[in-house]
Structure 1
Amino acid sequence: MFEKLKKRWNVTSNRQVVIILLVFAITGSVSAKLGKPICDYLNIYPHTFHPMLYWIIRLIIILPIYQVILLIVGAVFGQFRFFWEFEKRMFRIGQKTKKTVKRQP
């Protein structure tokens, strides 16, 4: 399993894979924990919205928080560059990469 992750993430050591997994775990937990107080502050409660709408709104709120926390926690663990590249790739999903087209005379 670690070998697949090392290849996919372009990292060289098992230690780095463990650190990256730890950063993802911490970030997910912290952003999920912060979601409720932020929703409470914005007066977004499950009993005032349709349950599906409540969770969609909550996910929309949590996503930017997750992105920021991912960079902060990644930096604390010395993996800022990896997570910066990871986020840039994540936001490129669905976008075509620019290719240069050679014109023939």
Structure 2
Amino acid sequence: MWCTEASVTSKHILNAQVSIRAPCCKQWYDCAECHAEAQTHPLAKTTEMAFICKKCKKAFRKDMTAYEESDEYCPHCDNHYVVEAKTPQAVLGVEGEDARVDNRCV
């Protein structure tokens, strides 16, 4: 299962650049929260992680014990996949006048 299939969009991370394979169930998720919502077992910890880049759709592995700054990029397409996560937040606003309408239209 992909956390970001068209019908199942990640509600935890809006700008996920990779999907991560959970070592316990071999399913793909954007984040640990998506795994927790979809599965009844805890997420297993591992030092070698499998990723799929969302830009080039290619899989790759990273050893997290020897992780360096250069490892923040997909080895296939150079997509920078370690970015600050943006969490969705509800926002209330007041509608104002339409900026496209000026007094020539009235």
State the TM bucket, normalised to the shorter chain.
under 0.3
Higher helix share: 1
TM-score for the superposition, normalised by structure 2: 0.28
Q: TM-score, normalised by structure 1?
A: 0.28
